[in-house]
Amino acid sequence: MNDQHVHFMGIGGISMGGLARHLARDGVRVSGCDLTADADVRRTLAETGIEVYEGHDPAHVTGIDRLVVSAAIPSDHPELEAARAAGVEVWRRMDVLGELFSQYQALGVTGTHGKSTTSGMLATILMAAGVDPSVQLGAFHPELEGVMRHGDGAHLVAEVDESDPGFGQLHADTAVITNLEDDHVAGKHDERRTYHANLEALERTTQAYADGAARLVYCRDWDALHDLVKHHPNAVTYGEHPEADVRIVNLQPEPSGSTFEIHGLGDPVEVTLQVPGRHNASNAAAALTAAVVGADVSARAAAEALQRFAGVGRRWQRWPDLRGAWLVDDYAHHPTEVRVTLEAAVASGRRVRAVLQPHRWVRTAQHWPALADAASLASEVLVLDVYGAGERPIPGVSPAQIVERIRRHGAQAAHHDVASAVRYLRSSVEPNDLVITLGAGDVWKVVRSLAEPPEVPA
């Protein structure tokens, strides 16, 4: 591939940009384009010698050898059609990741929840162990100062996005599956970008991913996942389940972290985390187990490395306090994620005030009752408009439904936009509050605004 010119369409996406930078570091000539190629994206990519164009144009494919497209690109896009007409080889993002998997001892982490945190923990462990891994993440990692790392070692740590049906074609040396739930499933809706047709299709793809791996590490706490992949000949399970091979024991949650023991990898080891919640203990057990069985790191060394893990971007990300109140941003957008994140927030002992931004029309149409039920764990919920992510609005789906259902649970709830949420919270926040933004869109702007001094009129 080194003598080719590869063009990335949608290079502004986190995963696409990370893959593009890896190829560029390998000496491949790389260019890219995106509708929202802002200055930060351009600067980050330019540092690796990548030329980035803002917007799409069929002329971009002139003279290139390979076009890489993200799953969000429609099949009839003019730039994509121009590449096909010119005989340019077209690859999907998963094709590029599969190429990297073939070059490394790949540890690939997938699942409905916890992929970014688990991958980030695993990267932290392998870097601390001195194996100099390459890394591809879907979230900012402070130690990487970004989302990727081009190491000289034999190992690759990669977050594998289960929303892309192509992930079933990957062949990992060590596949990690954190869990499996009904998400990125289109059902009766006709949206197919980053969606599986139905839950059965997602399960088949997950099973194919597991079957294609030399080793499998998966969470025993999810019975449906266990039933799906338990026949793998080289599997290791982890979790709190009594039948797990690697067990979480004596879990002690704390407001800003937890401590617990890991049994099943030789002598018991104690783990101390800086990120809170039972779900993060599970993520840590996954990363620790994968590091031991997939990279021959000792359990004790892995546990020591996890002590310094402070989280990845938009996963329980603390912003500067406002008048003593905690400001936290989290990517949680599926009902299960919202529930476990709010459980961790409530465990802090503070009054929890959540800003919830429903994400994608299809997901909201399918899961809004469960989303409202989960959000009602907070004392107060400010519900923003649906962040569509390019999807067409679905009639009959609205924030008002969510607000009304939350109120029926006894929590305060109201409809807001970003500006009104900032004004309301800034004027009413109290020292014992924990303000948390929840969603995969731009809801983080609320805590950013709260954390920054307000603008003073000239």
pLDDT recorded at residue 1 = 67
Please give the average per-residue pLDDT across 52-62, as a whole number.
Answer: 93
Domain with residue 416: its CATH number is: 3.90.190.20
Q: Are residues 160 and 291 in the same domain?
A: yes
Confidence of residue 235 (pLDDT cuts 50, 70, 90): very high
* pTM for this entry: 0.96
Q: Is the pLDDT of residue 44 over 90?
A: no
**Which residues fall within 8 angstroms of residue 51, CB to CB, at 6 or more apart?**
31, 32
In a domain, 67, yes or no: yes
Range of the domain at 271: 104-306
Cβ atoms of residues 184 and 324 within 8 Å: no
Q: What is residue 3's predicted lDDT score, i.e. its pLDDT?
A: 82
Are 188 and 281 within one domain?
yes
Structural domain contains residue 458: no
pLDDT, average across residues 287-301: 98
- Residue 40 burial (CB < 10 Å; 0-12/13-18/19+)? exposed
Contact 238, 244 (CB under 8 A): yes
* pLDDT (tens digit per residue) in 80-120: 999 999 999 999 999 999 999 999 999 999 999 999 999 99
User: Predicted confidence band at 458 (pLDDT cuts at 50, 70, 90)?
Assistant: very low
Q: What is the mean pLDDT of residues 240-244?
A: 98
Tokens of 253: 């949650």
In sequence order, the 6+-apart residues with CB closer than 8 A to the CB of 38 are 12
CATH number at residue 48: 3.40.50.720
Q: Which residues does 7 contact at the CB level (< 8 Å), separation at least 6?
A: 30, 31, 32, 33, 60, 61, 64, 66, 67, 68
CA 360/CA 250 separation, integer angstroms: 38
- Residue 63 and residue 19 in one domain: yes
Judgement on whether residues 271 and 325 belong to the same structural domain of the protein:
no
Of 306, 330, 361, the residue at which a domain comes to its end is: 306
Residues written for the chain:
458
Over range 443-456, report the average pLDDT: 88
Read off the tokens for 367.
Answer: 């899961």
- Segment 184-193, tens digit of pLDDT: 999 999 877 7
Q: Does residue 299 sit in the same domain as residue 332?
A: no
Is 55 within the bounds of a domain? yes
* Interval 328-340: pLDDT, tens: 999 999 999 999 9
Instruction: State the CATH number of the domain containing residue 292.
Output: 3.40.1190.10
In a domain? residue 15: yes
Looking at the fold, whether 131 and 256 belong to one and the same domain comes out as: yes
Which has more confidence, 361 or 37?
361
Helices (H), 307-417: 335-346, 361-375, 399-408
pLDDT of the residue at 455: 64
In percent, the amount of the chain with pLDDT more than 70 equals: 99
Q: What integer pLDDT is reported at residue 457 of this predicted model?
A: 52
* Residue 98 domain flag: no
Both 29 and 115 in one domain: the answer is no
Examine the domain organization and report whether 167 and 262 are in the same domain: yes
The total number of structural domains in the chain stands at: 3
| pLDDT (average), residues 297-311 | 98
Domain end marker among 306, 340, 366:
306
Least confident of 49-63, 122-136, 371-385, 435-449: 49-63
| 312 falls within a domain | no
b/e map 320-338, b = 16+ CB within 10 Å? eebeebbbbbbbbbbbbbb
Helix H segments across 190-235?
199-211, 223-229
The pLDDT confidence band at residue 453, using thresholds 50, 70 and 90, is confident
Indicate the residue among 68, 91, 114 that finishes a domain. Answer: 91
How much is the average pLDDT of 207-215?
98
Stretch 253-281: mean pLDDT: 97
Are residues 362 and 218 part of one domain?
no
What pLDDT is stored for residue 246 in this prediction? 98
Q: What's the pLDDT at 36?
A: 76
